[in-house]
Structure 1
Amino acid sequence: MAVSTPLLGVIVLIYLMIIFYLGLLGYKKTKEIDDYMVAGRSIHPYILALSYGATFISTSAIIGFGGAAGALGMGLLWLAVMNIVVGIFIAFVVFGKRTRRMGARLNAVTFPEFLGKRFQSRFIQGFSGAIIGIFMPLYAGIVLIGGARFVETTLGVNYDIAVLILAIIVAAYVITGGLIAVMYTDALQGAFMFIGMIVLLALTYIKLGGVTAAHEALSGMTGLVPESLVAGGHLGWTTMPAFGSPIWWTLVSTLVLGVGIGVLAQPQLAVRYMTVENDRALSRAVLVGGPFILMMTGVAFTVGALSNVYFQKTQGIIAVAAAKGNTDLIIPEFINGAMPELFVVLFMLTLLAAAMSTLSSQFHTMGTAIGHDFYREFIKKGEVGQTVNITRLGIALTIITSVILAYILPISIIARATAIFFGLCAAAFLPMYVGALFWKRMTREGAIASLLVGTAGSLFWLTFIHSKEAVPLGICKALFGVDTLLTGTWTVVDPIIVATPIAMIVAIVVSLATTPPSAEHLKDCYGK
């Protein structure tokens, strides 16, 4: 159904007014470069937790991964476990505290600068900034798709127009207000998301006759799994796929591990550790971040799988069929069909919040990567100049790129594109990030080698081996006359499984073979 009510206009107007007020507040508080880049290093831990969570969990999780659960089933809940254990606890307590302390000692204001200063390399900072500027628009593009698809389905607004409206609204407060504005608006949007997902879960179970009835009905639908999915290893929506099957590899290596591990090396998330005053703030943030991520991912994946029960009862078909083969439409179709009209309006705000919170952080990260890391440090060799203005220009350029990608990317792309970017970040950044935090013996040469090998390895695997990307791209076919260079199971193994361990080994071997950092520099990084 398409919602048309004066109440919608009033709610959206009030929501946008609050968002722009917070953006203005951020603008007024942005006086120094540290304010624009790392929110003055004085953000409240609860704002940090909500901002981190709202940035991490976007429409890609709710729409894209919720839709993937509609197709693949509740095995995706393992990703929710990974998100909480790795994405919150390990991220904040193990990585976050060391990142905050070292970032403050080195006066780093971006993730690439943190790595560049630890390894005394402008190349690392500039190359890392270039990776973010070039490849993060893919991630931002699919977040735009997620938000726009729901607006399209709910309001009957043309998809292309919905993409443009979302991009313009987010750009308005990110370009002016910097990270303070981003984190303030993120916190508000995170609160909207939390409430929206609680209500969605409750209404879903009510609609399907209760918790037990809903899950029993889903378990009883095993015989309705399409033959194409059965052949790939699908055993039903309440069980894991057959071990070692193509769908098992997609679920485990691409979705669960690709995103579950890749989160540790996300530039837009890592920089948030540097926005608080002390370690205690990070510990307190876990208490808010954990439940928030549980509610966001757990509900999305559960509702996505259970949507099959609703569509079977009302239309006699499974969720993928109801969405006409586009998994990105499963959640929008379910909510618009099964939920009360008022909730559809309110949930649209939830998804707008999810999209806007993630997009604002992505645009800020891409802009600082281009303006601060690539332009100022790599091109201008540290000359201050017009850094903030170039950063704002970088944000504008990456927004335009993201909008173009949202127009041209294929259907059912949200979950896969998220995993691609997370996996690339893991292969390129994670080995040297781990070394920077935990291994004093890691050298500049080792870090550069791991950065180059991880980046090249991930892109090579995507282009020539992993069939989900290699076949549509067609580069391997054009050069070698075959869809993929390897066959069999290798074609469904995600690049993160191959490229990240290789980059880690390269980092260790090259570091041990080269001169260790000076004691003086290590003291600057680690303190006593």
Structure 2
Amino acid sequence: MEYFKERYLTLLLILIYILGCLAIGWYFKKKAAKDVEGYYIAKREIPGWVISLAFFSTSASTNTYIGQAGKSFEFGLSWAWMGFIWTFFCIISWQLLGPRMRFQSARLRSFTIPDYFHLRYKSRLAKTIRVLSAAIILFATLWYMVGIAKGCAHVLSSVLDIPYEYGAFSILFITCAYTIWGGMYSVLWTDAIQGIIMFGVAILMLAIPFIYVGGVTELFDTLRQTDHKTASGAAIGEGLVSFGQLVPFLYILGIGLAIGMKQISEPKNLIRFYSIDNAKSMRFAMIWTPFFLGISLVCVMGLGALVHAMASGEEATYLIRNTDEVIGFMLDKFDNELVSGICVAGLFAAGMSSLASVIIIIGTAFVKDLWHVVRPMQEKKIITRTKWFMAFYCVLVYAFTLFPIAGIVELTAFAGAVFAASFFPAIFGGLYLKWGTDLGALVSMIVGMLTNIIWRFGIRFRYEAMEEVHEIIPAFLMSLFSYVLVSKLTHNRKPDSEHLGLLFDTEQKA
């Protein structure tokens, strides 16, 4: 009883939020189950403002609000540069990819990213590309989901004293429930609500260190005079407020590219373009999505550095080695039940928005792009089997979350690097390059995937000089070069002129 008495307000706010998400999923259950187009892409009838908020909320996940924010505790305010890189790629995604992806996917009757590759490159080999891209999604998404569940579990443990394994279970299976019920309808509408919550929480969390210390001047004076140590035991000094003193810019650039480029190649973001209802809505989202994301990133990317002003030397020594726990520590230290309740609900929203998006992506990838390709099935069975696989995959993610192999930032950055290097050349080439070929797409995917794995596990951490060179840089360059070279060498494999005309000649009229 004492536990509930101390935390009743926080628990009440979280409960209201969770019930709201479940209610939305249940509301759309019948509508989503009518056909595959409804369950997978919400029949392309979602308003622009919903898509804009949904894109923002699923992009700024637990990785941002907990992992990235906490990382700046170790690297200082220099880490805020991540926000600028990320926002830049958001603009690229909506300006370069969004309109064409919406047009071409509608023309091709594409419901998933893998089947876009199949339909766009139009050949027997394109079916292999579809299967390979689905396998890449299943592989990379596992690490991404583990990072999100890990972050939310740490916050629940810090703020509500909920054991890590129970926190991970709750975030995964509550999200799984409403996603299974309402498909893409519930994913997009809950994401929009979560986006509103997350935008407000980003601003609120930024204010906490300033309020705790007593003002802007007091906070920055404390940071400049801190006697805290780095992870290696050296004095931080003014490193928290000095650019590049605690972390090389090359490392910031690598992580920033991995996560930023993820926005222009990750299926959970690209599929948003499928569902938008018309060109007017697209124009609205093109303007407002970078705004929502940019403001939020400015608020949270350097937040961890400010938390030094709230921590004792002993607390800082622990947190510098456990940066995923910094935000939970900040809320616990601030010790305001209403603020904690609002922020934890926002952090739940950050995790759930991204989890829901990738849960439905892995379900569609396995059932429609692997199983259905190998052994075609009736449409009703596609939806049912998609639901069952989503539940199974969440169980698998939960098992990995109990024993994570890395921190949130590294897990999600690796997943982003895999998506960017494996998918971006094939997507960009499909949307813009008439001479792009199926063999070019296939080779670029294989090269991107292999370079990521070889660089990370065979080079990056084996040679000290290469440690700060994130795998996304060599993997993306090799993948892009492979796409261009192989496509040029196999130009006779490009689709026929009638097919290319369907995709390119009238797109401005869409």
In 1, the alpha carbon distance for the partners of 2:257 and 2:3 equals 37
Q: What is the match of residue 251 of structure 1?
A: 252
Q: What is the match of residue 453 of structure 2?
A: 459
Residue by residue over 1:346-375, the C-alpha shift from the partner in whole angstroms, topping out at 9 and shown as x without a partner, is: 211111111111111111111111111111
How is 1:425-440 mapped onto 2 (pairs within 5 angstroms)?
425-440=419-434
How far did 1:380 drift?
Answer: 2.4
Q: 1:227 to 1:156 in 2, by over 3 A?
A: closer
Q: 1:67 to 1:167 in 2, by over 3 A?
A: same
SS of the residue corresponding to residue 228 of structure 1 reads coil
In 1, the alpha carbon distance for the partners of 2:297 and 2:213 equals 20
1:518 aligns with 2:496: yes
In 1, the alpha carbon distance for the partners of 2:70 and 2:465 equals 25
In 2, the alpha carbon distance for the partners of 1:202 and 1:491 equals 35
- Residue identity matched to 1:249: L
Q: What is the match of residue 506 of structure 1?
A: 482
Q: What is the match of residue 145 of structure 1?
A: 150
Q: What is the match of residue 396 of structure 1?
A: 391
- Residue identity matched to 1:128: S
The worse-fitting range, judged by mean Cα deviation, of 420-429 and 76-85 is 76-85
SS of the residue corresponding to residue 302 of structure 2 reads helix
In 1, the alpha carbon distance for the partners of 2:431 and 2:416 equals 20
In 2, the alpha carbon distance for the partners of 1:229 and 1:490 equals 23
Q: What is the match of residue 102 of structure 1?
A: 104
Q: 1:2 to 1:240 in 2, by over 3 A?
A: farther
Q: What is the match of residue 339 of structure 2?
A: 343
1:353 aligns with 2:331: no
Residue by residue over 1:461-507, the C-alpha shift from the partner in whole angstroms, topping out at 9 and shown as x without a partner, is: 1220121xxxxxxxxxxxxxxxx3xx342233111110111111111
In 1, the alpha carbon distance for the partners of 2:237 and 2:111 equals 46
Residue by residue over 1:137-178, the C-alpha shift from the partner in whole angstroms, topping out at 9 and shown as x without a partner, is: 111011011111111111111111111122221111111210
How is 1:320-331 mapped onto 2 (pairs within 5 angstroms)?
321-323=317-319, 325-331=321-327
1:59 aligns with 2:66: no
- Residue identity matched to 1:431: P
The worse-fitting range, judged by mean Cα deviation, of 167-176 and 281-290 is 281-290
In 2, the alpha carbon distance for the partners of 1:209 and 1:261 equals 38
- Residue identity matched to 1:509: L
Among the aligned pairs, what percent are the same residue? 26
Q: Which runs of 5 or more residues in structure 1 are unaligned?
A: 468-483
In 2, the alpha carbon distance for the partners of 1:268 and 1:217 equals 41
How is 1:178-189 mapped onto 2 (pairs within 5 angstroms)?
178-189=183-194
Q: Which of 36, 45, 69 is the equivalent residue of 1:42? A: 45
SS of the residue corresponding to residue 465 of structure 1 reads helix
Q: Which of 3, 7, 10 is the equivalent residue of 2:9? A: 7
In 1, the alpha carbon distance for the partners of 2:476 and 2:281 equals 31
In 2, the alpha carbon distance for the partners of 1:228 and 1:288 equals 42
Contact 1:197 1:299 in 2 (8 A): yes
Q: What is the match of residue 400 of structure 2?
A: 405
Q: What is the match of residue 470 of structure 2?
A: 494
TM-score by length of 1: 0.89
How is 1:154-193 mapped onto 2 (pairs within 5 angstroms)?
154-193=159-198
Q: 1:355 to 1:527 in 2, by over 3 A?
A: same
SS of the residue corresponding to residue 136 of structure 2 reads helix
SS of the residue corresponding to residue 90 of structure 1 reads helix
In 1, the alpha carbon distance for the partners of 2:429 and 2:371 equals 26
- Residue identity matched to 1:424: V
In 2, the alpha carbon distance for the partners of 1:164 and 1:12 equals 15
- Residue identity matched to 1:399: C
In 2, the alpha carbon distance for the partners of 1:10 and 1:339 equals 17
Size of the alignment, in residue pairs?
498
Contact 1:138 1:421 in 2 (8 A): yes
SS of the residue corresponding to residue 387 of structure 1 reads helix
The worse-fitting range, judged by mean Cα deviation, of 42-51 and 386-395 is 386-395
Contact 1:133 1:367 in 2 (8 A): no
How is 1:259-278 mapped onto 2 (pairs within 5 angstroms)?
259-278=259-278
Contact 2:228 2:313 in 1 (8 A): no
Q: Which of 408, 414, 424 is the equivalent residue of 2:418? A: 424
Q: 1:410 to 1:327 in 2, by over 3 A?
A: farther
Contact 1:466 1:490 in 2 (8 A): yes
- Residue identity matched to 2:354: T
1:445 aligns with 2:439: yes
The worse-fitting range, judged by mean Cα deviation, of 209-218 and 291-300 is 209-218
Q: Which of 359, 364, 372 is the equivalent residue of 2:360? A: 364
- Residue identity matched to 1:108: S
- Residue identity matched to 2:319: A
In 2, the alpha carbon distance for the partners of 1:220 and 1:324 equals 17
In 2, the alpha carbon distance for the partners of 1:43 and 1:383 equals 26
Q: Which runs of 5 or more residues in structure 2 are unaligned?
A: none
Q: Which of 7, 15, 23 is the equivalent residue of 1:21? A: 23
In 2, the alpha carbon distance for the partners of 1:351 and 1:46 equals 22
Q: Which of 69, 82, 87 is the equivalent residue of 1:84? A: 87
Q: Which of 241, 244, 249 is the equivalent residue of 1:241? A: 244
Contact 2:172 2:394 in 1 (8 A): yes
- Residue identity matched to 1:523: G
SS of the residue corresponding to residue 517 of structure 1 reads coil
In 2, the alpha carbon distance for the partners of 1:200 and 1:392 equals 36
SS of the residue corresponding to residue 18 of structure 1 reads helix
